[in-house]
Structure 1
Amino acid sequence: MDTYSVFPDSPIGSFGPVSEVFLQRGIDTFRSACRWVHELPYGYNSDRDDLMILFEEKMGTCTTKHAVIATLAVELNLLVEKNIGIYAMTEKIVTGTDPILDKYGLPYVPMIHCFLADGEHRVDLTEGNANGKNRSIEDFLYTETVIPNIAGRDEYLKYRNALKEHILKRTELQGVDIKTILHAREEGLDLLKANLEK
């Protein structure tokens, strides 16, 4: 992943609700907004679909952090978009994954992570946060550009569709059904949350 310094340092004007909130905090460029969001602690928000929850709770996940900055990019007319990616979660990436893989007979758990992209660069504003992962996600099995504040339900439907159309067709997952992946995913999400508390 690249750092947010690859993005343009465009000035923020009164272009929309997210721009206004940043200006009220004395943050007046796109890069400084990225820095502010990156430096917020990693944490699960009480309502992931509320765009402004990040400002209220002063923490966020890849979902809420990137929703805010991707929305700001739209307001500033910048070509920076939110992407969802499905990565192969293993013990190397998330400590405690091996028991899940053994239980379901999987080589990895396909999990969603999101990031920002401008076509050429990929930026993860949760990289370096205590986010339950041992390292940044560099490789993805599948990626897709989405609207900045995609609803949780819509993101889940995109995940299920990607499993059917792309991930389950991979050689290493031959014979694995979608229910197995979905059960493993639930345990993977619980593991990530548990790792935050360590």
Structure 2
Amino acid sequence: MEPSYNFELSTSKLLSKSCIALGLTDFISICKYVKQLPYGRNNNRANYTSILQENKGTCSTKHAFLKEIAMENEADHMLFYLCIYKMKEANTVGVGEILANYNLAYIPEAHSYLKFQNKIIDCTRIEESQTSIKNAILLEEEILPKQIGEYKLAFHKGYIKNWIKDNNIPYSYSEIWNIREACISKLSK
């Protein structure tokens, strides 16, 4: 059964035309296409259209692209969220060894996804499973595609700085950020 959030693409909109040229004519087909793209940082973190040229993307670029498609097709029912979640081995397989080396149970990580009728639609992770982040979300807010660059970075860094202070974490901000980068690097392999 086709999800109720699906819609046909307009042939007169810029990004929709790019998708139609790839044989993707509705939102579900674009979601499937985006989901199969490998995880990888794009050359410009704020340029979500680069997922088509670079054939890869992060949660931010992939979901910002999908939200932009929804906006250009007036699909206001598709919302775009940024969250901070407890990144740990149980929900982000591969980071556990790194976190254990620093005696950390988790690191606050930024993640983005879509929502439809309050249900997470994540084209970079398994949505509902043992490894879901759903129960590890610390904070979330609705954003726009243009906010995946500087805004998201400042939001994430600010959260980590407060987390370190509020929880008496025995590492500096730069040390935590470097540990986080090691975790992200491990996920990219």
The AA in structure 1 aligned to 2:111 is H
How many percent of aligned residue pairs carry the same amino acid? 23
Tell me if 1:138 matches 2:138. no
- Is 1:54–1:64's contact at 8 Å kept on the other side of the alignment? yes
The AA in structure 2 aligned to 1:118 is F
Q: Residue deviations 1:8-29, cap 9 Å, x none? A: 2211013532112112222111
The counterpart of 2:183, out of the listed 184, 188, 191, is 191
The counterpart of 1:58, out of the listed 55, 58, 67, is 55
Cα distance in 2 for residues equivalent to 1:75 and 1:83: 18
User: Matched residue of 1:72: which SS?
Assistant: helix
In structure 2, the CA distance between the partners of 1:196 and 1:160, relative to structure 1 (3 Å rule), is: closer
User: Matched residue of 1:149: which SS?
Assistant: helix
- Is 2:80–2:144's contact at 8 Å kept on the other side of the alignment? yes
Aligned counterpart, 1:80: 78
Cα distance in 1 for residues equivalent to 2:100 and 2:45: 28
Q: What stretches of structure 2 of length at least 5 have no aligned partner?
A: none
Cα distance in 2 for residues equivalent to 1:163 and 1:194: 20
The AA in structure 2 aligned to 1:138 is K
Aligned counterpart, 2:88: 90
The AA in structure 1 aligned to 2:86 is A
TM-score by length of 2: 0.81
The counterpart of 2:118, out of the listed 103, 117, 120, is 120
Tell me if 1:17 matches 2:14. yes
TM-score by length of 1: 0.78
Q: Residue deviations 1:62-113, cap 9 Å, x none? A: 111101101011111112122111111123234343543553x543211111
Aligned counterpart, 1:107: 105
In structure 2, the CA distance between the partners of 1:99 and 1:42, relative to structure 1 (3 Å rule), is: closer
In structure 2, the CA distance between the partners of 1:31 and 1:142, relative to structure 1 (3 Å rule), is: same
Q: Residue deviations 1:3-55, cap 9 Å, x none? A: xx545221101353211211222211111111111122222222221222100
Q: Residue deviations 1:125-181, cap 9 Å, x none? A: 0125xxxxx93322201111111232422101122444567x569xxx53348x735
User: Matched residue of 1:141: which SS?
Assistant: strand
- Is 1:62–1:126's contact at 8 Å kept on the other side of the alignment? yes
In structure 2, the CA distance between the partners of 1:81 and 1:15, relative to structure 1 (3 Å rule), is: farther
Number of residues of Structure 1 aligned to a counterpart in Structure 2: 182
- Is 2:48–2:65's contact at 8 Å kept on the other side of the alignment? yes
Aligned counterpart, 1:131: none
In structure 2, the CA distance between the partners of 1:121 and 1:182, relative to structure 1 (3 Å rule), is: farther
Aligned counterpart, 2:167: 174
The AA in structure 1 aligned to 2:96 is T
